[in-house]
Amino acid sequence: MLEKQAEDVVIIDLRKLTSLADYFVLATGSVDVHVKAIVDNVDRTLRTSNDPLKPLHVEGYTHLNWVLIDYGDVVVHVFRDDARKYYQLEQLWGDAPLERVTDEPPART
């Protein structure tokens, strides 16, 4: 996702809250072409990995406002900014641990 300049990438750990999925991975794209590039990169990367992974279900790819890619234990959500603000998944799952993902090196202590 970061390779395609996805914004505000977060991982929500749902393991203690629901059996729906273990993790949600959220990211934002600026426009529909950007969302498509992020989604296509996630799919291509996982399909060509050492342990290839194909999605169980993809939803929203036609409109590219909110694309959901279901990998079973991990569900990837790629939003346009306005859709992410509207649906507020981070607040909906506010009790879940959340980790922000950046390409910045970890801080040294």
Q: What is the pLDDT along the chain (109 residues), one digit of tens a residue?
A: 999 999 999 999 999 999 999 999 999 999 999 999 999 999 999 999 998 999 999 999 999 999 999 999 999 999 999 999 999 999 999 999 999 998 876 666 5
The pLDDT, as a whole number, for residue 33 is 97
Residue 77 phi, psi (nearest 5): -120, 120
CB 48 within 8 A of CB 10: no
The pLDDT, as a whole number, for residue 109 is 59
Domains of the chain and CATH, by start: 2-97 (3.30.460.10)
Q: pTM (2 decimals)?
A: 0.91
CA-CA distance, 109 to 76, in Å (whole number)? Answer: 32
CA 48, 22, 98, 9 torsion: positive or negative?
positive
